[in-house]
Structure 1
């Protein structure tokens, strides 16, 4: 189910000028809403990319660990560890 959120944001001074320069006839966006949606999408993509990079680093570390550091675990061991 999709949800719509309405926001009111007040900007003044340099921030307002910056937004105005990016919206309208000479800007990259037709309106402020389009600009804000794009900023949010980019921030979401950045956050997801950072999380993916952290996961890749953790997996690389695990795969590069020496075989002697591994411990045999049963499914029950894993379940118990994750409940704790």
Structure 2
């Protein structure tokens, strides 16, 4: 995988890599950025799920209806 940076982005990366930076090399820096982005995406997904479950648990009991496994499978078919 190749990434090309120039100008301000290249300077910024260079300031974070090497003897005075937080990372030993550019690859380490990019891997860390990708891991953080992955964690952020997973946290957002979890928060959406948590919000959905909160709404579901807050729904009045009268809005619930029984479902069989076949009902759930059928509902999720394309």
Structure 2 length normalisation: TM-score?
Answer: 0.94
Please point out which of 66, 69, 77 is paired with 2:71: 77
Aligned equivalents of 1:12, 1:81: Cα separation in 2: 50
TM-superposition CA deviations, 1:21-60 (whole Å, max 9, x none):
0000000000000000000000000000000000000000
Q: How many residues align?
A: 78
Aligned equivalents of 2:56, 2:21: Cα separation in 1: 47
Structure 1 length normalisation: TM-score?
Answer: 0.88
- Map 1:7-46 onto structure 2 (within 5 A): 7-46=1-40
Deviation at 1:79, TM superposition (A): 1.9
Q: CA RMSD in A?
A: 0.9
Q: Does 1:59 align with 2:65?
A: no
Where relative contact order (Cα < 8 A, 6+ residues apart) is larger, the structure is 2
Which runs of 4 or more aligned residues in structure 1 lie more than 4 Å from their structure 2 counterparts after TM superposition? none
Query: Secondary structure at 1:54's aligned position in 2?
Result: helix
